[in-house]
Structure 1
Amino acid sequence: MQPQDVRGFLFDLHGVLADSWQYHLASWQAVAQELQIPWTDQLATTLPGMSRADSLQAILASAGRQNEFNAHQRQMLTDHENTLYKQFVAALTPANRLPGITAFLDELVAAGYPLALASASANAPAEIKHLGLTPYFPQIVPASSLRASKPAPDVYLAAAGLIHQHPEDCVAFEDTVTGVRSAKAAGCFTIGINSQKLPQADAMFASTRELSIAAVQRVLGQLNV
């Protein structure tokens, strides 16, 4: 992709627009404690980007209890985590936006680029509202419309459709391995936002502070030299 070929920008929510993964992790840590399962650094590293069902399975598997609980009981546990998380969501404010994100979004809007949110979270509309980001993302992909969560490409295909663009003409921003896989599977040029290298990402920035149109154009140009 050449810089002049970019037609839109697609954003993950957790870890890209706001540091809200910490709240999911806090909620899951509480669930793990209730199940008397030790919370580990490995879980804190593995869970970001996973669906609720996969997160629960990872927690259970970490203690060799992956075969416990029937489908109804698992649903009750994931619903419980969601209830805990919603308490954190209600406390979100624009101050929870990650550094540099507001300026970058303003720059993109001023340049005329369409933006879309690529989040499979059912809580995304509420989070975006509390963060004061609705003007940037007036339309959000309904989580219920997605057949599969990340790393499947569904959410990125749907997000590109919201702005009437082909995924191949969009730049996606992700902060997890699972998210990068999703964006790449959809065909997006994918920029990772993480201090650690994310496999398959086309380019990396260590922090949202580094984001600007010029910086994105620079990495696009470097990869096409």
Structure 2
Amino acid sequence: MTKFDEIKGFAFDLDGVIADTARFHGQAWHQTADEVGTTWTEELAESLKGISRMDSLQMILDHGDHADEFSQEQKEALATKKNLNYQKLIETLTPDDILPGMLDFITSADKAGYKMSIASASKNAPLILKQLGLTKYFVGIVDPATLHAGKPDPEIFVRAAEVIDLVPESVIGLEDSAAGIESINGAGQVSLGIGDPKVLNKAALNFEQTSLVTLDNIAAKMN
């Protein structure tokens, strides 16, 4: 595996890694599921993590056997409505919503000269970073609207390395979903999973909590 001193940058997922906006996604998608008649379950909620908006909607429709009941135009309207509900929720975010330890990690990485980018399926990433007061720390944000495929396809993390002008092998990707870890691995980067190691069993590195993610702890695992 890549040694820590070869690492030059970090590519971050956003939801569940920097802030718990996943709960807002859950609330908004729950509203959508109720509207289309799909029973909301924890299993369904978990399966939507790291997945694009339209793919998430399709999974909700499939889960309730409603896939053939909506036209493409109706699906787009449902996705738009969900996003408006979600945006209202994320406008309540403040720097206090940054997950434990992540502000310290991001500021220490910045001071140490590491380049950082955002690789989130959320089209609202710029707004979320603004609300959290973190925009200045990131060189770039991959626009998911420009991607040909969402996670677990590696494209988003390939692009996340490109926007900070680094080769994949010198980048650590941080994710809290299995789809995201697969994406990082496919991009040729070092995958760092945050969460249950049984769920994120393909991650090269794992920390069960964001508070444990520090430069020193990462170095200790890699060297």
* TM-score using structure 2 length: 0.95
Query: Does residue 199 of structure 1 match 2:201?
Result: yes
Residue 135 of structure 1: SS of its match in structure 2? helix
Structure 2 residue identity aligned to 1:93: T
CA contact (8 A) 1:6 1:170 kept: yes
- Per-residue deviation, residues 82-125 of structure 1 (Å, max 9, x unmatched): 11101111111111100000111111112111111111321111
- Per-residue deviation, residues 16-40 of structure 1 (Å, max 9, x unmatched): 0000011001000011112232211
CA contact (8 A) 2:115 2:138 kept: no
Aligned to 1:60: 61
CA contact (8 A) 1:117 1:140 kept: yes
Aligned to 1:124: 125
- Which structure 2 residue ranges, 5 or more long, are not aligned? none
How far residue 186 of structure 1 moved from its aligned partner, in angstroms, is: 0.6
Percent identical pairs in the alignment equals 37
Give the Cα separation in 1 of the matches to 2:47 and 2:143.
Answer: 25
Residue 39 of structure 1: SS of its match in structure 2? coil
How far residue 142 of structure 1 moved from its aligned partner, in angstroms, is: 2.4
Residue 13 of structure 1: SS of its match in structure 2? coil
CA contact (8 A) 2:105 2:214 kept: yes
Give the Cα separation in 1 of the matches to 2:10 and 2:42.
Answer: 32
Aligned to 1:187: 188
Structure 2 residue identity aligned to 1:11: F
Structure 2 residue identity aligned to 1:108: A
Give the Cα separation in 1 of the matches to 2:201 and 2:39.
Answer: 28
CA contact (8 A) 1:120 1:146 kept: no
- Which structure 1 residue ranges, 5 or more long, are not aligned? none
CA contact (8 A) 1:139 1:162 kept: yes
Structure 1 residue identity aligned to 2:95: P
Give the Cα separation in 2 of the matches to 1:187 and 1:49.
Answer: 18
Aligned to 1:164: 165
Give the superposed CA RMSD: 1.2
Give the Cα separation in 1 of the matches to 2:186 and 2:138.
Answer: 23
Give the Cα separation in 1 of the matches to 2:24 and 2:164.
Answer: 29
